[in-house]
């Protein structure tokens, strides 16, 4: 990802004044100690350079060490080893045994980190959790908790060191190159702090030697070049210690241990902390700020605008359907062409009150009457929640919440570098709705704040620009979508669809597929009962869920958010992995539509294989379709050739599967589900109890082939 992940424990990233002062003072002390050692180091440097043998080899000193391009290009060259020459310190063979004194001078900054990150720890460890005093931990700020008012306090980017230019930018590119390589070696290749120190120290000596033999080349910052990994990380601006905040010493929730970490004693006698569960969270405000500092990004976000879309005062459109288009015959090329894009309203505030009857509404408190995307920079965002197996062995589900900007052009909208990884949800099991609500509360709070507008620094502009952000849609697979929205499962009998009140048992009736028979639901219906459920006890919540099909979701706090409207069906999972799979696996295969008839020499699957074998595939084809008879059938293989006889598909039933086959068992199961649904339709449409004749007729129903 191109955005820095701010790791917070457990999921808060607001500033902690006490922690900030402690961390900043630590950095000031480190810089002061560096300054005090510089004079001593310079004297040792002269002695060391004089002691190095003159046979040290340097390849193309003038070419390798000349000033390089700006940092972004340099970083890209560093990461791509194919375009990077061999590091010049590989050509230097100084006697590192002479550098022990300097290593000791710089080692004090790494001692604590090495104790924590040492990969060679002994297995002889002892638990020290008993008696641990987290409250007296200097990094713990007892004043910060879950106060929503404190969470929403504005923060000034100018005072945030994360947005200051990293000190490495003012140093020579060769020195900056060494910092980046040492950091990459540690972060991605498992290099220890000692190895990183050797890398940085070796580069420093090589540069001093090169400077002596090529005095015309100036290496800015060489006198102050750091030799330890933590200090190099601070020079690069990638040391995130200052934003880690301990929220509480003990959790007050029932049945929650509230343990942030465990403490173990190593065989060496030193103690080490092991985090129990970490929830990395990227504050949207900070991520957007980094994003807008990319060259040309602000201008790219404005490319969607057409004639009449210039920033100006204009109300959001209320028209829907064909009435929202000047010419309905013009095709839509992207979501920017749809009527919903210009129907998003700015300046709303979600208001709810109970004066005997609960009311929830979005109030234009300042009477702006403003279309959101007609603001100078109104960013429309969509989120996705998904779970995946993070380990190859065992069952460990890890979740991830992504966010992407719909203002981006279609071609770059879903690129990795344009996707924000907001948070990673720890496993090993998927979270329930109550846990999701608590975790999502901070994110929702941040998005509500950004909806009201925030001034950001823009690349190439001296002044800050106002930017508004609206969370407009949630696009996940159906199980994750229904959970995060607080809706009943898609397999629910009465609340299968949040758009209409068609029950699931109508899937066995043609009326369940006729849009003229659908009765659409009020979009505010779910929001109202979600708020009501939020203030009730568990028994009343269960009753509301049973009769209204909704639980409380923290997303309902977002102005303009309607559960039934903003939870968009995710096309790939719904259509391809569900609908197409159901047609091919259930309707075609399990319903025996491709069963062979040996006595008539009719083998549909073999005919498909023969058909594919006769095709001359172009070189542009990525992969050939597998054998139909020897591997699971694919969705793109149900062709006319499988059923045709003399150019026509005969109007006959496919032969039945043998009783001892899996297809026969699956077909019997599907028939049972179909009969149960037909019975529920009969019960819903019959005031009295069904007659015996009706029940017998229902039991005799079969699925034709």
16, pLDDT greater than 50 = no
Structure tokens at 266: 């190593």
The two beta strands, 358-364 and 348-354, are: antiparallel
pLDDT digits (tens, 9 = 90+) for 663-692: 788 888 888 888 888 988 888 888 778 888
Structure tokens at 281: 């969270």
Q: How many CA atoms lie within 13 A of 542 on its CB side?
A: 2
How many residues are given for the chain? 705
Give pLDDT, residue 182. 94
Give pLDDT, residue 451. 96
What distances in angstroms separate CA 427 from CA 109, 181, 543, one per listed residue? 34, 33, 30
SS3 content of the chain, % helix, strand, coil (to 5): 45, 15, 45
DSSP classification of residue 377:
T
Contacts of 545 (CB under 8 A, 6+ apart): 488, 533, 551
Quick check: 507 and 676 in contact, CB under 8 A? no
How many CB atoms lie under 10 A from the CB of residue 353? Answer: 9
Confidence of residue 661 (pLDDT cuts 50, 70, 90): confident
Give pLDDT, residue 171. 92
The two beta strands, 567-569 and 465-476, are: parallel
394, pLDDT greater than 90 = no
3, pLDDT greater than 90 = no
| C-alpha closest to that of 41 among 182, 195, 225 | 225
The percent of residues above 70 in pLDDT, for the chain, comes to: 70
Give pLDDT, residue 441. 94
Could you give the CA distance from residue 609 to residue 607 in angstroms, rounded to a whole number? 5
Quick check: 514 and 508 in contact, CB under 8 A? no
Give pLDDT, residue 56. 30
480, pLDDT greater than 50 = yes
Give pLDDT, residue 121. 41
Q: How many CA atoms lie within 13 A of 246 on its CB side?
A: 21
Confidence of residue 47 (pLDDT cuts 50, 70, 90): low
Give pLDDT, residue 41. 55
In Å, how far from its chain's centre is CA 609? 41
| C-alpha closest to that of 58 among 93, 96, 84 | 93
Could you give the CA distance from residue 6 to residue 243 in angstroms, rounded to a whole number? 7
How many CB atoms lie under 10 A from the CB of residue 24? Answer: 12
Give pLDDT, residue 28. 55
Confidence of residue 201 (pLDDT cuts 50, 70, 90): very high
Could you give the CA distance from residue 3 to residue 389 in angstroms, rounded to a whole number? 23
Confidence of residue 73 (pLDDT cuts 50, 70, 90): very low
Confidence of residue 40 (pLDDT cuts 50, 70, 90): low
Structure tokens at 179: 């910092």
Angle between helices 17-51 and 229-236 (to 10 degrees): 120
Could you give the CA distance from residue 188 to residue 242 in angstroms, rounded to a whole number? 22
Confidence of residue 472 (pLDDT cuts 50, 70, 90): very high
Q: For residues 183 and 651, which has the higher predicted lDDT (pLDDT)?
A: 183
Give pLDDT, residue 473. 93
pLDDT digits (tens, 9 = 90+) for 75-133: 333 333 333 333 333 333 333 333 333 334 444 444 444 444 444 443 444 444 444 44
Confidence of residue 14 (pLDDT cuts 50, 70, 90): very low
Give pLDDT, residue 627. 52
Quick check: 419 and 406 in contact, CB under 8 A? no
Across residues 286-308, what is the average pLDDT?
92
* Secondary structure E strands in 201-331: 261-265, 271-275, 279-280
Q: Which range (41-55, 536-550, 655-669) has the least confidence? A: 41-55
List, edge to edge, every strand of the sheet that includes 126-127.
126-127, 261-265, 271-275
333, pLDDT greater than 50 = yes
46, pLDDT greater than 80 = no
Could you give the CA distance from residue 99 to residue 228 in angstroms, rounded to a whole number? 13
Give pLDDT, residue 655. 74
Give pLDDT, residue 45. 56
């Amino acid at each position: 990802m191109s955005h820095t992940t701010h790791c917070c424990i457990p999921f808060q990233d607001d500033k902690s004044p006490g922690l900030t002062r402690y961390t900043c003072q630590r950095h000031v002390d480190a810089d002061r100690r560096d300054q005090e050692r510089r004079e001593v180091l310079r004297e040792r440097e002269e002695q060391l350079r004089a002691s190095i043998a003159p046979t040290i080899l340097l390849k193309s000193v003038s070419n390798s060490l000349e000033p390089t391009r700006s940092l972004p290009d340099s970083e890209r060259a560093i990461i791509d080893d194919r375009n990077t020459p061999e590091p010049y310190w590989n050509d230097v063979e100084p006697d590192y045994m002479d550098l022990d004194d300097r290593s000791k001078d710089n080692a004090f900054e790494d001692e604590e980190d090495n104790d924590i990150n040492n990969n060679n720890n002994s297995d002889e460890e002892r638990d020290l959790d008993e008696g641990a005093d987290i409250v007296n931990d200097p990094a713990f700020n007892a004043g910060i908790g879950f106060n929503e008012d404190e969470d929403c306090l504005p923060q000034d980017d100018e005072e945030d060191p994360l947005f200051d230019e990293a000190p490495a930018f003012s140093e020579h590119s060769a020195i900056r190159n060494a910092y980046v390589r040492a950091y990459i070696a540690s972060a991605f290749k498992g290099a220890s702090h000692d190895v990183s120190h050797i890398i940085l120290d070796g580069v420093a000596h090589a540069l001093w030697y090169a400077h002596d033999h090529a005095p015309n080349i100036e290496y800015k910052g060489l006198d102050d070049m750091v030799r330890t990994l933590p200090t190099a990380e601070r020079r690069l601006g990638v040391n995130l210690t200052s934003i880690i905040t301990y929220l509480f010493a003990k959790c007050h929730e029932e049945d929650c241990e509230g343990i942030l970490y465990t403490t173990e004693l190593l065989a060496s006698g030193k103690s080490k902390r092991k985090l129990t569960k970490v929830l990395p969270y990227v504050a949207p405000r900070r991520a957007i700020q980094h994003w807008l500092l990319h060259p040309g990004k602000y201008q790219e976000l404005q490319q969607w605008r057409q004639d009449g879309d210039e920033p100006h005062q204009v109300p959001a459109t209320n028209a829907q359907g064909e009435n929202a288009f000047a010419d309905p015959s013009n095709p839509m090329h992207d979501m920017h062409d749809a009527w919903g894009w210009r129907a998003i309203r700015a300046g709303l505030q979600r208001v709810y009150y109970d004066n005997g009857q609960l009311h929830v509404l979005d109030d234009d408190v300042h009477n702006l009457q403003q279309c959101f995307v007609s603001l100078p920079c109104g960013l429309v965002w969509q989120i996705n929640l998904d779970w995946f197996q993070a380990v190859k062995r065992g069952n460990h589900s890890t979740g991830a919440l992504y966010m992407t900007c719909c203002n981006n052009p279609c071609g770059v909208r879903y690129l990795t570098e344009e996707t924000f990884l907001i948070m990673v949800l720890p496993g090993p099991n998927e979270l329930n709705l109550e846990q999701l609500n608590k975790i999502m509360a901070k994110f929702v709070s941040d998005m509500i704040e950004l909806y009201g507008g925030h001034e950001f620094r823009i690349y190439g502009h001296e002044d800050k620009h106002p930017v508004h952000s609206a969370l407009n849609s949630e696009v996940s697979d159906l199980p994750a979508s229904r959970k995060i929205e607080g809706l009943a499962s898609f397999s629910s009998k009465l609340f299968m669809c949040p758009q209409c009140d068609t029950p699931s048992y109508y899937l066995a009736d043609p009326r369940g597929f006729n849009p003229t028979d659908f009765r659409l639901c009020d979009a505010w219906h779910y929001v109202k009962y979600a708020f009501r459920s939020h203030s009730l006890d568990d028994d009343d919540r269960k009753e509301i869920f049973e009769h209204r099909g909704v639980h409380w979701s923290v997303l309902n706090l977002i102005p303009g958010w309607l559960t039934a409207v903003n939870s968009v069906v995710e096309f790939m999972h719904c259509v391809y992995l569900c609908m197409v799979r159901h047609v091919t696996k259930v309707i075609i295969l399990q319903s025996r539509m491709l069963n062979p008839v040996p006595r008539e020499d009719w083998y549909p699957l073999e005919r498909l294989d023969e058909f594919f074998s006769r095709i001359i595939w172009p070189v542009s084809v990525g992969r050939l379709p597998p054998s139909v008879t020897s591997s699971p059938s694919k969705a793109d293989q149900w062709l006319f050739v499988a059923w045709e006889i003399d150019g026509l598909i005969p109007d006959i039933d496919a032969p039945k599967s043998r009783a001892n086959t899996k297809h026969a068992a699956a077909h019997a199961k599907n028939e049972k589900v179909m009969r149960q649904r037909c019975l529920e339709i009969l019960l819903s449409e019959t005031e009295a109890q069904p007659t015996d004749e009706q029940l017998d007729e229902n039991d005799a129903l079969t699925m034709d082939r």
